Each structure stands twice: as C-alpha cells, then as structure tokens.
A and B are shown apart, each in its own frame.
Chain A
Amino acid sequence: MKALAARRQDRRAPIVLLLLALLLTGGLYAVLAPTSADATPVKASTNDIDTGEKLFQANCATCHGPAASGTASGPSLIGVGAAAVDFQVGTGRMPMQMNGPQAQVKPVQFDQEQINQLAAFVASLGAGPAIPTAEQVDPALGDVANGMLIFRTNCAMCHNAVGAGGALSQGKFAPNLWATTPTHLYEAMLTGPQSMPVFNDANITPEEKRDIIAFIDQQGGTSPGGLDLGALGPVSEGLWAWVVGMGLLIGAAVWIGAKSS
C-alpha cells in the first residue's frame, strides 16, 4: 500500500490514469453500445397492399397524410414508387427520428417483408420506379473503369472521389457510400432522396448505374497503400503526419536529449 501511495506522486501517474480511463470508457462503450439491426433481404411476398396500408397508417400517415398525399410536414408519396420506399425505410431514414437538416440513417425499424408491403402500398398509389432486380445491381456485371468516369463526373463533387462522403450547405451532407447495399445505391440514384438529384434512366442508363455500383464496390474502402485514413485526402494525411510522424520524432528527440545529461 505504501508503494502504491508513493507511486501516486509519480508524474507519469496522470497519463497512466488517463489512458486507463479512456480504455475503460471505450471498452464499456463497445460492450454496451446498441448493435445495429441487420435487415436481411426477403423475397417480396405476394401483393400485400392491405398490410402495407395498415403499416402506413400506423407509422407514416402522421406526416405524409392518411391518403399519402402529403401534409405541411411531409411530402406526397403518390408516384414516388416502391424504390423510394425501399431506400428510405430500408436504410432507416424513415420513419424520421427527428427534425433536422436531413433525415439521418438509424437502425432499420421494419423487417424486409414489412418494407416490401409498405413499398407495395405506395407503388399502388401511382406509377413510380420499382425496386431493382438483383441482376441490375450486381457489381460483378459492371464495368469498373466506366463507373469511375461516370462517378467522378456526377457523384464525386458531393460524395468525395471514392464515396467517403462530404459536406453540403446548412448541415446537410452527402453520406459515405461504402456500407450502402448495391440495391440502395441504385434506388438512391433513381429516386434522388433529400438533397440528391434524380439520375433517371435517360440521364444515367441502368447499365451505367451498375458500373457506378461496381466502382464503389471495387474501390470504396480498398487501399493498396495501407490504412486509408478515411480516404479524406490531404487534410487527414496532414493531421496524421503531425500526430504520428512529429509525435514519434519529437518523442525520440526528447529521449535522445535526455540520454546524456
């Protein structure tokens, strides 16, 4: 006990304590943080518009109106199509958790069957883009190089060169694309959620959309040079040059300087 009391006076003690506290906080967070629900895609059941309507009335009508024709707090959903519903609900953006610059991704609230039922109901209100087939979004069938060219002309100015995400005005932002499923990527291009423009099939053909998906799949998050540092470009590189590089070198200089005297 006496040894412990003596050590407490050591000037390294606060650093050790701080590290321990950080470790403990991090560990607790890792254990206690809620895990995100993973919606597994289920084959759409036979037309279940009625169930979809009930779900709609219970969860969506407050803002979008009982007839889905929109209110002051939510847009009309007539003609937005099944693709929009699958994207918005399937990524957890809808039902919206809170008002803000834009709807944020959160744990998905429905299973894929319920999402399909909701989508079927909304699709029945008016013609709109449908959920793409598995073949339409298969990254293996796309041309990566063509995807790169289309991506950097149409997408990179908001989503960053490889889809790491970027800022928009007034707190809105273009999200990171690496964890988004190919189906949701396709639907987003087709329906243009929130600040995103619509890229219809005349603008970017279905094949080209698949090329883009192939590019994101091939390049997003891969990094031949080592840790990608967020793929954010020179700012994060500069930050790490100072933190890691200068940190280690100044540490070594202090050590060498202390060695002789």
Chain B
Amino acid sequence: MTTTATPTPVEKLAAGTADYLDQRTGIGTFVKTFARKVFPDHWSFLLGEIALFSFITILISGVFLTLFFVPSMNEVHYEGPWAAMNGVEMSEAFASTLRLSFEVRGGLLMRQIHHWAALIFMAAIVTHMMRVFFTGAFRKPREVNWVVGFLLLILGLAAGFSGYSLPDDVLSGNGLRITDGVVRSIPIIGSYTSYFLFGGEFPGTDLIPRLFTVHILLVPGIILALIGLHLFFVVLHKHTQYPGSGRSDKNVVGYPLFPIYVAKAGGYFFTVFGVIALMAATMSINPVWNYGPYDPSPVSAGAQPDWYMLFLEGSLRLMPGFTEFVVLGYTVSLNVLIPAMVVPGILFTLLAAYPFIEAFATGDKREHHVLDRPRNRPFRTAFGVSLLTAFFILVLAGSNDLIATHFHLSINDITWVFRVLIFVGPWFAFWVTKRICLGLQRKDRELVLHGHETGRIVRFANGEYIEVHKPLDAHERWLRVQHDAIRPLEIEPAEDSRGVRRKGYALDRMRQRLSQTFYEDRIEPVTPTELAASHSHGEHDAVGPADEHAPAALTGAVGGGQHLVDPQDETTPDGRNR
C-alpha cells in the first residue's frame, strides 16, 4: 500500500525499531507465526480470559498493598482516624491494614480492588472449568491441561485463603482457628502438624509472616508458572471449536490472532479491570474495621469465609456433632474429619479424575478438537450438574444463618433439610439433567427427520389437513447429526474358544459395567439412511393425496412437506455459529 509513497517518519521509525529487534532476536518469525495463528470465536472462550485478567489485576494491586502492609504480629496500640479502634491493642498487621485503608491515598480502593478481583478470579476459574467440562474440552489430548487447570483452582483457593487471613482480624482469625481444628482432626499426626504450621500453640506469633510468604511469593509464583504452562498447552494443542459445518478435528476455523483477537483480548482486559474497579469503588468488601483485631475469644454472628471456601463451612455446619469418639484415650474427631477432609476430598478427586474416568469408560484413543454439545453426552452433563448441585447445597448450608434471618425460617429446620438434600439433591439433579439431555436429543432427531414446524396448514381436496414442515438447511442439520454415538464397550468373553480363562477379564468386565453406566441410555444421531427413509416417507405422503385429489398446482409441493418451502441456500453462513 505504501509501495509507491515515500514512508512517513513514523513508519520509518517503526520499521527501524522492528528491524533492530529482528536482527538481534529473530522475533520476526515468532510474530509472524503468532499473528497468523487462528482462534475459533465464541463468547464462552473468553471465560478463561476473565480469570487471567483478574489475576493480572490481583498482581498489580497486590504489589501496591505490599508497599504498606506490615506482616508482623507485634502488639501495638492503634492511633488513627478510625475512632472505634483508637487506643485498642492489635497486631502490626491489623494496624497497617487500617492505615492502608484510612490513611494511604487510594489504599482502600486498592484493597477493595484486590479483594473483589480475588473473588472474580475464583468465580471465573469455576465458570471456565464448567465450560471446559460440559463441552468435553478435557478429552485427549487435553487431559494434562485439565489437571493443570485443576491445580490452578486449588492454588487459587490457597492464595485466597492465605490472603484473607493476612489482615489478622477477628473473622480471618476464626477461619484460621477452624483450619487449626481441621488439621488437628487428622489422626495421629494432627496435633504435631498444627504445632508445625503455627510454630507452637495457636495462634502463636509466626503465622502472619509465614502466610505472607505463602501469599505473595510461593503461591503466586506457582500460579504464574502454571498459567504459563496452561497457555502453552493451548497454543500447542490449538484451541477447541464448537461443532458446525466445515469444522473438524483436523482444522481450526476462526480468525487470526492479529488484529482480531489482540483487539478483543486487549479490550476485554480493560473491561475486566473496569468492572472490578467499578465494584471496588462502589461496594465495600472485607471491612476489617468492623470485625476488629484478632483475639481468640470473640466470634461474631455471620462468621463465614469467602464464597469459594463456603462449601467447607457448610459441610462442617451440616455434620452432626455426636460423631466424636474417644478410643483408648485418643479423640477421634470424625465430626471434623469427615466434613472438612473426606467430603472435599471426594468432590475434588472426582473433579480432577473425571477425564481419565471417562476415557476409561469410552476406550476412546482419538484426539478431539471439536467440542461436544452438552446434550449429546447426557451422563457427563448430568454428572457435572450433580457435582455442582452438591457444591451449591454445601454453600447454602454454609449460609444457613443468613437464610434463616432473611427468610424467617428456623435454622434447625434448614440444617435438617440440607442434611437430607446433600444426599438426595445430587441424585435428583443427575436424573433430571439426564432426562433433559435425552429429551433435547430426541428433539434434535425430530427436527432433522421432519424439519421445522411452519404453522402453515394445508387442506387437501379430500378434506385431509397437514402441516407443512420446513426442512433444515445443511448447516442446521449437520450441527444435529455430526456427533458420534458412543455405545457401551463390547468385551471379549471370559474364556477363549478352548475354555481357558482369559487374563484381564475382571478388569474388562468392570470397564464394561462403567461404560454401560455411562452410555446405556442414549439417543443416537440420525443416520443418512434414516434421513433418506424419512424423506421418501414424506414424499410418499405428499404424492398419495396429490395423485388422487389435489389440484395440479399443488402436486409435488405438499405433504410431510419436505419440499413445499424451498430449502434455504445451503451455503449461507447463518447456521454456522450456533
């Protein structure tokens, strides 16, 4: 474009700089490759970006906070603008948090940005994980990246919890006391571990500096490294894409990174930052001056952790207290051990291991780059919903006191309802979701075989009424028939032809049972044969009455109605991005 014109000074400067860098780093090839890298487009692919961008916001605001926060448990007397704390004895950590909030310019805003961004970070991780789970984006070759993402979730919990505890206020102190209790409930090593973590009897004087190191160095360092790995895998595997015409496991349909996604992602970073800043500027979060400096004696009503730890609180609240026993002089605190260790252990293990369980059940060794529509994998979708239901019930149980006061209910009744629901709810959610998925698949079959209802009723001369159906265009149809029908595994018999028992039969049998649980109930997609059969059936309907009674004008244009309305132009892109 500028071949004929002489380059402007700005262009010259840019070209000069680029050339300088390229000669020394060879960055040109890198930029060329990346700028042309194609990404598929869908809003749900931005969910992970929310997590990334809120993490950047956390890093930036966190650096500001470290300039003023003093991670020390030395006792001081507060003197400052917050009247309710004047002269009160507190740790330097809490005093510096108050100073940060009320005396440092912009300090309170930065604290609130940091904390809101942390809540959004965890929420975005969970939402992103839901997207990956329900669309089956964890299948080969991405199982390892699922595990990396899972570790990021756990590290996010660790980062959040360690940061939440730093200001050394009553609420976070209560949280630490619960943590201490949970650690102590571990048989045999519990009390030793507690002393090791806290540097002596709880709360000690070592904890805040230790948590500080964990919170600003250890955990964020590992998170950054894993984010790098996570994104490296995305580049390596290429991004998954939703099913649609022209998309297969062998291609990526989308737009190049530059300029489309550079602009989109850049803009979205500022959107994420803007929303967090807006929340931080208008909504109070973690007002530690309400809770006061930590002191092991007081606990206030409504003492709960941040939302991502709330399920643990709920689990503890649901557990009946009588399950603590003294055996041979040793206390076995099942009332703490089960809700705080076993329950999250089960939930997280299922979450982390699911890709491997599913791969075992399908026996599928192929690579998958086209996503599943959730309805087409009823077991997986139902399983995910039931895990989420269990999590949600625990979150509600952790908020039982607020539910009681806000809806004028008895907290005892609520607790009992949740005690039942935590066993019944996930099963019920599983069943409902599976039925809905199967129903939606039937609807898809129906659409493919018979087309859209048009609401046009045609009466034949013999008095028969039929509704005209409009056939699906090629894109719509492909979307509904492209997936594989996964059937339960067939295994070799227990004995070979000579009646010798086969090695590995027991494992195969187990695998088959699992596979049957996953795929016994299924609706298979319409096959070309079925489609052809349905077409001829439609035409037969149409031809029959037309031959006998219908006016000539209607001949071939009426019936089960496959061709009464002209099919849409099959090359229009309308149906593609659905």
Q: Are A166 and B84 in contact (CB under 8 A)?
A: no
* CA gap between A244 and B285 in the complex, in Å: 14
Q: Are A174 and B301 in contact (CB under 8 A)?
A: yes
* CA gap between A237 and B120 in the complex, in Å: 11
**Residues of chain A contacted by B308 (CB below 8 angstroms):** 238
Q: Are B287 and A169 in contact (CB under 8 A)?
A: no
For chain A, what secondary structure do more than half of its interface residues adopt (helix, strand, loop), or is it mixed? Answer: helix
**Residues of chain B contacted by A101 (CB below 8 angstroms):** 410
From B279, B307, B401, contact of A166 by CB (8 A): B401
Interface size class of A (residues with CB under 8 A): 35 or more
Choose the segment among A23-31, A115-123, A146-154, A184-192 that binds chain B (4+ C-beta atoms closer than 8 Å): A146-154
Asked whether any CB of chain A lies closer than 8 Å to the CB of B571, the reply is no
* CA gap between A245 and B53 in the complex, in Å: 13
Q: Are B310 and A152 in contact (CB under 8 A)?
A: no
Choose the segment among B41-49, B225-233, B444-452, B464-472 that binds chain A (4+ C-beta atoms closer than 8 Å): B41-49
Asked whether any CB of chain A lies closer than 8 Å to the CB of B541, the reply is no
Known: A167-B401, A167-B404, A253-B46. A156 touches B301 (CB 8 A): yes
> Which residues of A in the span 82-108 have a Cβ within 8 Å of any Cβ on B?
101
Q: Are B282 and A226 in contact (CB under 8 A)?
A: yes
- CB-defined interface of B255-285 with A at 8 Å, one 1/0 digit per residue? 1000010001001100110011001111111
Asked whether any CB of chain B lies closer than 8 Å to the CB of A218, the reply is yes
Q: Are A145 and B83 in contact (CB under 8 A)?
A: yes
Q: Are A235 and B310 in contact (CB under 8 A)?
A: yes
Q: Are A224 and B101 in contact (CB under 8 A)?
A: yes
Known: A156-B298, A223-B284. A257 touches B304 (CB 8 A): no
A239 to chain B, nearest CB (A): 8
- CB-defined interface of B497-540 with A at 8 Å, one 1/0 digit per residue? 00000000000000000000000000000000000000000000
Asked whether any CB of chain B lies closer than 8 Å to the CB of A241, the reply is yes
Asked whether any CB of chain A lies closer than 8 Å to the CB of B462, the reply is no
A229 to chain B, nearest CB (A): 6
Q: Are B43 and A257 in contact (CB under 8 A)?
A: yes
Q: Are A171 and B120 in contact (CB under 8 A)?
A: no
* CA gap between A159 and B124 in the complex, in Å: 33
* CA gap between A259 and B398 in the complex, in Å: 40
* CA gap between A232 and B86 in the complex, in Å: 24
Asked whether any CB of chain A lies closer than 8 Å to the CB of B127, the reply is yes
A233 to chain B, nearest CB (A): 5
* CA gap between A211 and B195 in the complex, in Å: 39
Asked whether any CB of chain B lies closer than 8 Å to the CB of A173, the reply is yes
Asked whether any CB of chain A lies closer than 8 Å to the CB of B300, the reply is yes
**Residues of chain A contacted by B234 (CB below 8 angstroms):** none
Asked whether any CB of chain A lies closer than 8 Å to the CB of B292, the reply is yes
> Which residues of A in the span 153-170 have a Cβ within 8 Å of any Cβ on B?
153, 156-162, 164-170
* Closest chain A residue to B81, Cβ basis: A224
Known: A223-B287, A242-B307. A157 touches B301 (CB 8 A): yes
Q: Are B302 and A237 in contact (CB under 8 A)?
A: no
A140 to chain B, nearest CB (A): 12
Q: Are B170 and A152 in contact (CB under 8 A)?
A: yes
- CB-defined interface of A212-256 with B at 8 Å, one 1/0 digit per residue? 000100110001111111011111111111101110111011111
* CA gap between A240 and B119 in the complex, in Å: 10
Q: Are B268 and A253 in contact (CB under 8 A)?
A: yes
* CA gap between A238 and B307 in the complex, in Å: 5
Asked whether any CB of chain A lies closer than 8 Å to the CB of B151, the reply is no
**Residues of chain A contacted by B264 (CB below 8 angstroms):** 256, 259-260
6 A-B contacts (beta carbon < 8 Å) = A168-B411, A235-B302, A235-B304, A236-B402, A249-B272, A256-B271
Closest 5 CB pairs of A and B: A238-B307, A166-B301, A257-B43, A225-B284, A156-B300
